[in-house]
Amino acid sequence: MSSRHPCSTADFSRRHQLLLSGMLIAASVSAGCAAPQAATRPSIVPEIRPGVAAGYLTSQELPDSVVLLPPPPQRNSAGFAADQEISRVRGLRGTPRWTQAIVDDDLGFPQAAGIFSCAMNMPVSEQLTPRLYGLLRRTRTDAAVVSDSAKHHYKRPRPFMENHEPTCTPAKEEGLAGNGSYPSGHTSIGWAWALILSEVSPAQADAILARGRSYGESRLVCNVHWQSDVVQGRFMGASVVARLHANADFRADLDAARAEIATVRARGLKPLRDCAAEAAALAEALPPIQ
């Protein structure tokens, strides 16, 4: 591939000739030669299957959650008693926080791309930030898969299976019952995204990390995870981000996303979500953890 700038003398001469023949207008020449657009050009996102992006890491490169995590708290232990108590007091059915937890459950795209948009104070979409959008899609897969081995190994029952209380996603309960609770995959994804986004948008790091914490807490509100699931989900999210930094494709996409964010901020674009409603819901106090 040639390394020539797209507005080299030869290219400009050719464009000028096309202009004279009526095939280009002056405005398009000016826009085309203003600056290279590689930083905002969408990359091709590889897919495992239609709609599901391939991660950056191979199965051999992913951290091993069975090796890294301790076993979940055993019955009759202090740890399990704490999990049960936190699960009991965190029911917030019918409140704005419950509604927010339902929103947070949806990790499908394009909806999931905007989870941190209020914290970042900017829109995130395939149209406006295609490289960031692709980065989120690919890292979602890495941060989800990284927890699978421990989930399958421990097969921990979820809170609603123990306390028989409602969840915020009743239609998903059958599938959740067959998928181990430990660690929380949603939390792993949310915390991985929080760490990644705090790198590319450092001025908003505190708000982003706070949103990453509240995102994991939504799994407690939903009655689908124990507190220890959420804590270790954050650990696995951090472990996969640490490993991603050794991947050249990830680092390149990180740089491209950073450039996109700067462009969006220069345009003064704001989030497409109701950030006031989200802030009010997340400000709703959860009962303290003892």
For residue 47, give Cα distances in angstroms to 12, 111, 158.
Answer: 37, 18, 30
Amino acid identity, position 69:
L
For residue 141, give Cα distances in angstroms to 61, 106, 211.
Answer: 13, 14, 20
| Angle, alpha carbons 61-153-86 (nearest 5°) | 105
Fold of 43-283: Vanadium-containing Chloroperoxidase; domain 1 (1.20.144)
Residue 183 CA, distance from chain mean position: 17
What pLDDT was estimated at residue 90?
64
Q: Which of 252, 48, 236, 29 is nearest to 135 (CA)?
A: 252
Amino acid identity, position 259:
A
| 197 in Cβ contact with 113 (< 8 Å) | no
| 224 in Cβ contact with 233 (< 8 Å) | no
Q: Which of 262, 280, 270 is nearest to 114 (CA)?
A: 270
Active-site annotation, residues:
186, 219, 225, 229
Tens of pLDDT along the chain (290 residues) come to 433 333 343 343 333 333 333 333 333 333 333 333 334 455 689 999 998 999 999 999 999 999 999 999 999 999 999 999 988 766 678 899 999 999 999 999 999 999 999 999 999 999 999 999 999 999 999 999 999 999 999 999 999 999 999 999 999 999 999 999 999 999 999 999 999 999 999 999 999 999 999 999 999 999 999 999 999 999 999 999 999 999 999 999 999 999 999 999 999 999 999 999 999 999 987 765 54
| 168 in Cβ contact with 221 (< 8 Å) | yes
Domain boundaries of the chain, sorted by first residue: 1-36, 43-283
d(CA 146, CA 172): 21
